[in-house]
Amino acid sequence: MTGQHIKVNAIARSFGTALIKSGINMIKSGVDFTPMVSGPRIINDALQNKGINIPVSQLDVNYYYTSWDNWKKIIEVLYGIIKDFKWEADKADCDDRSNLMTSLCSIIFGINTCGGLYCEVYDAGSDKLKYIHWANLIITSSGEIHLFDVDQSGQTTKVSSQPVIMGNNKYVFRQLRIY
């Protein structure tokens, strides 16, 4: 693959950049709520309360969060964006979708309590390992935890313990990156 060069059409790039900025501003203008602020303890407390003991990479000092009712609206907006991207396996896959969800939550809504969740996914019936996966773990202002998976048609499920069953999948959490 050496010798390949990236070519950029300056006009198309400028138009695309302006369109993206405009779209983000339009989405932001359609949102009317102020997230609450907390220190990092809400993440640790929420996980401990559910008996979830996994490594957590926390890169921010303050974490902004909101209610589950607001999260449902956020998921509806962002899933509508993420699901329509043209994804290529091995180039842009589950880790990229999880990172995009995390980033869009922060950029558009100012909330950084939607983290990237590294997990193993097993068949819920046979317990056979299906794949290693990235999804998202959402923490609400009341300390609830919800699993969100773009790859499972944007499904969410409330987490009360681990492992978590969603559809025909059993999720075993391994690591959380929340930033």
- What local confidence, expressed as pLDDT, does residue 59 receive? 83
Intra-chain end-to-end CA distance of the chain, in Å: 34
Residue ranges of E strands in 9-163: 36-38, 56-58, 63-65, 114-123, 129-139, 145-149, 155-159
Rg of the chain, C-alpha, whole Å: 18
CA distance readout (Å), 137 to 45, 98, 124: 14, 9, 19
Tens of pLDDT, residue by residue over 1-53, are: 566 888 888 888 888 888 888 888 888 887 777 777 777 778 888 999 999 99
Domains, the chain: 33-178 (3.30.460.70)
DSSP conformation class of 155:
E
In the predicted model, is pLDDT for residue 164 greater than 60?
yes
Q: Which residues contact 114 (CB under 8 A, 6 or more apart)?
A: 101, 102, 105, 136, 137, 138, 139, 148, 178
Question: Among all chains, which residue has been given the structure tokens 């198309």?
Answer: 12
Q: What band does 99 get if pLDDT is binned at 50, 70 and 90?
A: very high
